[in-house]
């Protein structure tokens, strides 16, 4: 019985240390980001806003093709991903963003029908 109590005490201490750290990583993702994306037509600098409310992540993407609401962003630690449909002259293009935040820097890849292209950026504002 005493070993069970010791195990429970250890787990409570462990979780009190680890759980806040995981939330801190996720909080780093929130904010407004100026991205640099090298496209076949040149460099684009869209602005990505990521926000969290009651445990749900969403955002806004403002780029050369307009402003788009992102209803769901998956966030795990300091990584994130979301789908984005952009209207182009040739029709709708499905994109998928995947990235990582480290401090005030952001980087990742944009998936598109022809493959992936890298993006990077920096924080404009914190939440």
- What is residue 17's predicted lDDT score, i.e. its pLDDT? 36
Per-residue pLDDT tens over the stretch 7-46: 334 333 333 333 333 444 777 999 999 999 998 889 999 9
Burial class (CB in 10 A: 0-12, 13-18, 19+), 54: exposed
Domain assignments of the chain as residue spans, ordered by start: 26-125
CA distance 77 to 25: 5
Per-residue pLDDT tens over the stretch 49-101: 999 999 999 999 999 889 999 999 999 999 999 999 988 888 999 999 999 99
CATH 2.40.50.140 is right for the domain spanning 26-125: no
Number of residues that make up the chain: 127
């Amino acid at each position: 019985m005493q070993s069970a109590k010791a195990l429970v005490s250890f787990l409570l201490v462990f979780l009190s240390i680890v759980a806040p750290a995981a939330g801190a990583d996720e909080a780093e993702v929130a904010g407004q980001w100026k991205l640099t994306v090298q496209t076949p037509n040149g460099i684009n600098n869209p602005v990505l806003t990521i926000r969290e409310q009651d445990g749900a992540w969403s955002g806004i993407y403002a780029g050369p093709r307009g402003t788009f609401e992102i209803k769901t962003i998956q966030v795990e630690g300091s990584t994130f991903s979301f789908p984005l449909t952009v209207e182009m002259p040739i029709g709708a293009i499905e994109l998928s963003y995947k990235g990582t935040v480290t401090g005030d820097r952001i980087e990742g890849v944009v998936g598109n029908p022809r493959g992936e292209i890298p993006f990077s950026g920096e924080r404009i504002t914190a939440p």
